[in-house]
Structure 1
């Protein structure tokens, strides 16, 4: 009856009436050695105190995060591989999306009665793209 139909819904509701303040963007006052932390885009004078925040989880709340017996967790294994393979030219949000895809498609935990999968998640309030740079690019 509902096969092939939309699998989810999004509701946009106002959660509060509180106004977010702002913070100074202090990158211009940071010594040159640490300038590599700046984004590729020019900075603004002020920013929301809630902006430029990223949180990543190995799984959704209430679900198990799996680990190989001899290696690290599935999420950390794939995050490491994705960063090593793609960090030079891919921004962080896309690296995390690729990590999520790999964990969901690649891994299964063999339980006695059923097979378990894992789905990482992250949320981002980035206002800019964040790229990793090699040491050669910094110095």
Structure 2
């Protein structure tokens, strides 16, 4: 069986250009809202999970994907664990973990939905990389369960 921590996440080039590159640096560069692309991905995944926004990925897919191992090696162990917990919750069963590729695909779809949700908000509130705006999005969320 594949190791879930080694399977790479995917995201659309469109969301990379319109969200990831606006809010995060090139993998570990000078400070922005997020220091790593994976942190922005986790933010989008949480937004997607919370708002129940799930969206299949469309081509073209961006380069430089990362894995749960990348997150863990970059200090994101809790983020990786949270993604897996949300995945299990959305799947409704631990059985999703028996098929690691399906679990990663599910996380990818919720992250993609989250990216599109964020872009929709950005249409009304033009933002590039404003930490205060991100904090408002996080703390001012309306949760739709």
Greater RCO (Cα-Cα under 8 Å, separation 6 or more): 2
Could you say which structure has the higher strand fraction? 1
Global fold match (TM > 0.5): no
- The structure that has the greater radius of gyration is 1
What is the TM-score of this pair, normalised by structure 2?
A: 0.28
Structure showing the higher helix proportion among its residues: 2
Q: Normalising to structure 1: TM-score of the pair?
A: 0.29
